Amino acid sequence: MAERRTVRVSPAAFDQLDDQLRQERGPVGQPSVGDFIVLELPAVVERFATGFDELPEIIEGTPTGRMLIARGLLVRAYVAYRILLDDDTVEIVGIGIDP
């Protein structure tokens, strides 16, 4: 069984979501920040909790920073950036969305 790490989301990542998505759903069903947090973020957290070491490095040669690029349920695609902290916790430090 793969090692399971604790994952937390930084305030900066939530700020980035606020900058990219509306607080309410858009007029033609565009997702809100809340929609992304409830429907997309749990899968992102799970992927980093169980498969951090298998994901590509943000900067080659820096294994403590990884990224996940994936198709979303609500958005066309997203990229999430994470770093591994000294206490073996993974922190999501950024999220970019392609709506």
Model pLDDT for residues 27-63, shown as the tens digit of each residue: 888 899 999 999 999 999 999 999 999 999 999 999 9
Model confidence at 1, pLDDT cuts 50, 70, 90, reads low
DSSP string, 64-97: TEEEEEEE-SSSSEEEEEEEE-TTS-EEEEEEEE
Q: Place 99 in a pLDDT band, splitting at 50, 70 and 90.
A: confident
- Taken in order of first residue, the domains within the chain and their CATH numbers are 7-22+30-98 (3.30.2310)
Q: Check pLDDT > 60 for residue 68.
A: yes
Query: Band of the pLDDT at 2, cuts 50, 70, 90?
Result: low
Q: Is 56 helix (H, G, I), strand (E, B) or coil?
A: coil
Q: Indicate the average pLDDT of the chain.
A: 94
